[in-house]
Structure 1
Amino acid sequence: MTVLITGGAGYIGSHAALAFLDAGETPVVVDNLSTGFDWLLPEGVPLYQQDIADREEMETVLRRHDIETIVHFAGSIILPESIENPLKYYRNNTVNSLGLMEAAVACGVRHFVFSSTAAVYGLPDSVPVPESAPLRPQAPYGASKLMTEQMLMDVAKAHDLTVTALRYFNVAGADPRGRSGQATREATNLIKVACEAATGKRPSMTVFGQDYDTPDGTAIRDYIHVTDLALAHRLAVERMRSGGGNLIANCGYGRGFSVLEVVRAVKAASRSDFTVEMGARRPGDCPEVVADSRLARAELNWQPELDDINQIVADAYRWEEALAKRNRV
């Protein structure tokens, strides 16, 4: 079957393309390449360089490939930037998604998987965080994603469309076979930044906040390997095709690591003692965010295979070394 992947030339989207391709499906990608790279895609995967907000162009692609399933990654994802430029996030994540939904309904798309985020919870009352936790995003990034979730669920009630929204925690790592990884310019993800420092691409890295109420004073996050996350998307599609209904589920491992623990893991993997500077907290950051992922495991029959911080870091570092050698990014 053919699956349309928006933002499929980006970090997570390219891994999803690999997951569907490895399962014998045919992915078709739409990406405006504002942050994605065509060379991340496997050879032979069709790529349409266009915006998802262009309903007419999206309908053309959907009809040309007889698409019944959309996996939607396209959007902006940097939380601090969303505070500085909220309109960008409400346009890219919410308004543009509206155009995609209109095209999906017009073309009879049956299944829709949405790339959401744990940022919809904001500062959680307790950890691990279940899907039933209060939804109170602290920044436009989370708010824009939550709005899109709500829009999709309303559309699903009114039309013959089934929706799965997966709320990611901290995505990291790279394809263990080296076929894809994070190539984002000026990335803010901790493990990516630390690996760039380890390879010399950055002169140093900064730890934001050392006065949190955590064992070592730095923030704790639930890091999920991007390949396990891509698998969750494929399983979500399989579930809907088998008659499963609308679902919102967390994607994380259910345990966290502090910033300093991650930095130590990267130093060990890279055998590099790169410079680490200590900085102030960033607006919108939380002391600890860890997923309760029991729903995803039960509903999707999702059994993560790469739940190991050392594996995540090692794959990310190998990818960063490969990027440095290619001098691509």
Structure 2
Amino acid sequence: MILVTGGLGMIGAHTARALLDLGEDVVVTSHRRGDVPSFLDGKVVVESLDVTIQAAFLALGERYAVSDIVHLAGSVPADDPVAYFRTDMTGLFNALDAARVWGVRRSSRSPPTLCRAPAYTPSYCGSGRRGGR
């Protein structure tokens, strides 16, 4: 089973869909969202997860035989860029630790600035905010 953290976000949901199209079993996590896109509804397992809580992250391995991790969960930049990167790095370290503990075959992480850069958010990320401050 492939774990997709942030799997109800735009990139995560479409990643989960692509994995389903390849015949993979997928469990997606989300910390804040609860609405499952129609193209995933009934096709994936959905778990609530705060990726910054190591014990909660590792507990997923007790419920699922995770073979691969696609770590796409991340926070939204606010006024404190240090807190933003601390949160994202904690989630990344917990994903890497889980990969080690579970003996996963592969793990991947999107660049944390892909759709969350404070100075520029591409239109495909849904915010409509472009360039500068």
Change in CA separation of 1:117 and 1:30 when aligned onto 2, cut-off 3 Å:
closer
How far 1:170 sits from its partner (Å)? 4.2
Q: TM-score, normalised by structure 1?
A: 0.35
- Give the Cα separation in 2 of the matches to 1:117 and 1:111: 19
> Which structure would you say has the larger Rg?
1
Residues 150-299 of structure 1 aligned to structure 2 (within 5 Å):
170=122, 172=124, 187-190=127-130, 281-282=132-133
Higher helix share: 1
Aligned equivalents of 2:128 and 2:93: distance in 1?
A: 27
Residue 62 (structure 1) aligned with residue 61 (structure 2) = yes
Deviation at 1:26, TM superposition (A): 1.2
The residue that corresponds to 1:48 in the other structure is 47
Letter in 1 for 2:87: N
Partner of 1:12: 11
Aligned sequence identity (%): 29
TM value normalised by structure 2: 0.78
Aligned Cα root-mean-square deviation (Å): 2.8
Aligned match of 2:103: 108
2-structure distance, mates of 1:85, 1:100: 23
Matched pairs, number = 128
Q: Is the 8 A contact 1:6 1:72 kept in 2?
A: yes
With a CA cutoff of 8 Å and minimum separation of 6, indicate the structure with the bigger relative contact order: 2
1:26-47, CA deviations, whole angstroms, 9 ceiling, x for partnerless residues? 11011112xx343226122111
CA deviation string 1:241-289 (max 9, x = no partner):
xxxxxxxxxxxxxxxxxxxxxxxxxxxxxxxxxxxxxxxx42xxxxxxx
SS of residue paired to 2:61: helix
Equivalent position to 2:36, from 24, 35, 39: 39
Tell me, yes or no, if the aligned pair for 1:31 and 1:48 is still in contact at 8 Å: yes
Listed as ranges, the gaps of 5+ residues in structure 2 are none
Q: Does 1:93 align with 2:88?
A: yes
1:188, CA displacement in angstroms?
4.5
